[in-house]
Amino acid sequence: MNNKITPIIFILFICLFFVASVLKEPDEISVSERRKLASFPEITFASVSDGAAMDNFDKYISDQFPLREGFRKLNAFFQYDIFMQKDIGGLYFAEDHISKLEYPFNTDSVQNIIDKTNHIYQTYFENAGNNVYFTIIPDKNYYIAAKNGYPSIDYKLLESTVTEGLKIQYIPIFDQLAAEDYYYTDSHWRQEKISKVYQTLANAMHVQPSGTYTINTYGPFSGVFASQSAATTQKDTLYYLTNDVIDNCSVYNFETNAYTGIYDFEKAEEDYDKYSLFLSGPAALLTIESPYADSDKELIIFRDSYGSALAPYFTQNYRKITVVDTRYIASDYIGEFIDINDQDVLFAYSTGLINNSYSLK
C-alpha cells in the first residue's frame, strides 16, 4: 500500500502545481532576471497544427509557475555550492565579482561592427572634415576571466582586427582600467572610477581634461549578474558625479520628446535596472546641452550602455553632445536628425557589443 501512496501523492502534487500555474495571475516581468516573462499563448488552429501553441504554453508554464523565484535560488544553491559547478549559464564568481563569460571570439560579429562603423564614417564624416576617433571599452572579463581559469576571448586579436578594419584614429584605454573599476554585481564600469579613461580620450581628442567633481551615492545597487545568478544577495553602491557644469546640463530625448538632467532619478526609481540613472538608460538619440562648457565645440558619441556614464565627463569640453545608439536607430536615418558640420566624433563600443554586434542597425 505504501508503495502506491508515494507516486499518488507525487502525481497529485504535480497536478495541483500545474493548476496553480494556470490560475495564477501572470507576472509581466521578472525584476531579478531583467526580462519580460512569457504571456499566455494565443490558441489558433495554425498554432495547434504546427506545435507552436504547445511550445509557447511550455514557456508560459516555465515562466509563470508559483514560487518560481524560490526555486531559482534553490537551483543556484545546488549548482554552485553542492555540485561545485564553475558557472551556470556562463555566470561565474571570481575575485568578489560576478561576471558572464564572453567566449568564443565571434569573427563574423567583429567584421559586422567594422562594416557598420565604416558605413557611418564614409556616409557622414569621411569628406566632412570631422575629427573622428574610436575606442574599445574592455568588459571586466579582460581583467578576471583567464587568470581565474575561465575561457576568455583573445582581446588582442579583437583589438587588432578592429583597428586594422577601421581607418579611424584609435585611442587605446585597456591599460587605464582594472577589475575594481567595474561593479561587482554588474557588467558596467563605475563612473567615479573612469576619470583616467576620460583624460586619455580628451588628450587624444585635443581637448583639455578639466573639472573637479563631487562623488554622490544613489544607494544599494543589485546589478544584472547578481539578479540573473539567483545565487547571492551581494549588492554594490551606485555612484554618480556632479559639479556646476553637469548640474546645469539639459538632456533632450528624441523618443520621449522630453528634457531631463544628466541623471534621471525618476526613471531609476521606476526602472528595474538602476543603471538607468545615467542618461535615462537605453535611448536611440539624445542631445546634451552644456551651457558652462569651456568651448563652443560639439561632439557626437556613438555608444552602447557604457557611454551613459562616460558622456557626462565631456560636458566640460563641449557645448553640445549628441549621443547615438545604433542598436535603436538605423544609421541611415542619422542625417535626418543631426546636422553634420565640424563636430568631433567618438565611437565608443564595449568588447561585449563588438563580439555580439548583430543588434546594430
Give the pLDDT of residue 228: 66
13-17, 116-120, 253-257, 270-274 — which is least confidently predicted? 13-17
SS3 content of the chain, % helix, strand, coil (to 5): 40, 20, 40
Mean pLDDT across 145-170: 96
The percentage of the chain sitting over the pLDDT mark of 70, rounded to a whole number, equals 74
The percentage of the chain sitting over the pLDDT mark of 90, rounded to a whole number, equals 61
Give the pLDDT of residue 223: 79
Return d(Cα 112, Cα 107) in angstroms, integer: 9
* C-alpha pair distances (Å), 310 with each of 70, 177, 321, 348: 37, 13, 12, 9
Mean pLDDT across 57-66: 60
Return d(Cα 218, Cα 266) in angstroms, integer: 12
83-92, 262-271, 318-327 — which is least confidently predicted? 83-92
Mean pLDDT across 94-121: 95
β-strand partners of 298: 320
Give the pLDDT of residue 20: 54
pLDDT at 64 over 80: no
pLDDT at 115 over 60: yes
For residue 327, what is the DSSP state?
T
pLDDT at 215 over 60: yes
Mean pLDDT across 248-274: 91
21-30, 181-190, 321-330 — which is least confidently predicted? 21-30
Mean pLDDT across 225-239: 73
Q: Structure pTM?
A: 0.81
Mean pLDDT rounded to a whole number for the chain? 85
- HEC sequence for 172-198: CCHHHCCHHHECCCCCCECHHHCHHHH
Q: CA torsion 309→315→320→325, rounded to 10°? A: -10
Give the pLDDT of residue 67: 52
Class of residue 180 by CB neighbours under 10 A (exposed 0-12, middle 13-18, buried 19+): middle
Of residues 353 and 271, more confidently modeled:
353
pLDDT at 9 over 90: no
